[in-house]
């Protein structure tokens, strides 16, 4: 509980025992790719376990570029790619780059991306790996994480996004751990990158016993996280 042991965090820890960790639902990812990917190229700068890859593959989009520094995921991505190649003939392309998104040279994809679609980590809320390349290892405060990881990555990859292209960013806040990302992103993208917020899609998370909504416990509560849709003019 990282020094935050209290009634709320203790309850959350107990309820996690019954929680099934899931990736971004591929069916939800597929509709986002279909709605905003223009049948073209999807760039996912925190690819994780492949939910967005599967969604993109199932959609009309023809190309997926995934980035994630967690090299422990390499073998399972290899198996997933291999299985699809063997069982589903297709004309699509995909690639994974195993690097931190903020260190990347994005010039190979300049002007080629229709949709940037990702669920980045929420600072140090979920620790996917202990590798030194994880953003929670590199940045010790939410401010340095926003500047060094999230905002820097978005600034660097903006030239990849075609004019009229979209960014679908699934982010969330966590009041208990003082993590506030949504408002900062909503302010940063228009002001610093000239992107327009065109839509907010509520993404329904898996139910969890004892979840709280606005501080009230709600049984098998259903919670949603926003997917912020920005457009490049
Ligand atoms: C919320 S998960 C992504 C979940 C994914 N959408 C799925 O469906 O499985 C966040 C991912 O961010 C990755 N990550 C951590 N540090 C990063 C960095 N510096 N650059 C890019 N991705 C990073 C983690 O390795 C993790 O896989």
**Mean pLDDT by groups of 10 residues along the chain of 233 residues:** 73 67 82 98 96 95 98 94 89 96 98 98 89 96 97 98 98 89 98 98 74 60 86 97
122: left (phi over 0), alpha (psi -120 to 50) or beta: beta
The two tokens of residue 180 are: 């506030």
Cα 223 to middle of ligand 1, angstroms: 21
- Measured distance CA(24)–CA(75) in Å, rounded: 19
Contact 122, 146 (CB under 8 A): no
Residue identifier of the C-alpha nearest atom 5 of ligand 1: 48
- Indicate which atom in ligand 1 lies nearest the CA of residue 49: 9
**In sequence order, which residues have a C-beta less than 8 Å from that of residue 191 and are 6 or more positions away?**
none
Smallest CA separation from ligand 1 atom 10, residue: 121
Superfamily of domain 7-232: Vaccinia Virus protein VP39 (3.40.50.150)
Residues 6 or more apart in contact with residue 3 via CB below 8 angstroms: none
**Contact (CB, 8 A) for 147 and 123:** no
Cβ–Cβ under 8 Å, residues 146 and 181: yes
Q: What is the pLDDT of residue 90?
A: 84
Give the pLDDT confidence score for residue 74 in this predicted structure: 96
User: Which atom of ligand 1 is least distant from the CA of 46?
Assistant: 22
67 close to 52: Cβ distance less than 8 angstroms:
no
pLDDT at site 88: 85
Sequence spans of domains, the chain: 7-232
Q: List the structure tokens of 31.
A: 């509709």
Which of 32, 56, 68 to mutate to test ligand 1, by most ligand atoms within 8 A of the CB atom? 68
- The pLDDT value recorded for residue 215 is 65
- The model carries a pTM of 0.89
């Amino acid at each position: 509980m990282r020094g935050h042991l209290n009634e709320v965090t203790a309850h959350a820890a107990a309820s996690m025992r019954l929680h099934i960790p899931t990736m971004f639902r591929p069916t939800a990812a597929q509709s986002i790719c279909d709605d905003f990917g223009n049948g073209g190229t999807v760039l996912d700068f925190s690819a994780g376990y492949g939910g967005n890859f599967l969604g993109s593959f199932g959609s009309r989009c023809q190309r997926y570029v995934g980035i994630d520094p967690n090299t422990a995921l390499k073998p399972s991505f290899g198996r997933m790619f291999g299985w699809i190649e063997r069982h589903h003939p297709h004309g699509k392309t995909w690639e994974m780059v195993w690097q931190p998104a903020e260190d990347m040279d994005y010039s190979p994809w300049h002007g080629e991306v229709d949709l940037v679609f990702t669920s980045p980590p929420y600072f140090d809320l979920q620790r996917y790996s202990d590798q030194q390349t994880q953003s929670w290892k590199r940045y010790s405060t939410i401010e340095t994480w926003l500047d060094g990881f999230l905002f820097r990555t978005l600034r660097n990859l903006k030239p990849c996004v075609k004019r009229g292209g979209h960014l679908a960013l699934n982010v969330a806040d966590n009041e208990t751990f003082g993590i506030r990302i949504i408002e900062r992103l909503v302010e940063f993208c228009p002001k610093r990158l000239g992107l327009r917020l065109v839509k907010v899609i509520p993404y329904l998370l898996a139910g969890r016993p004892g979840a709280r909504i606005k501080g009230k416990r709600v049984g098998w509560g259903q919670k949603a996280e926003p997917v912020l849709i920005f457009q490049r003019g």
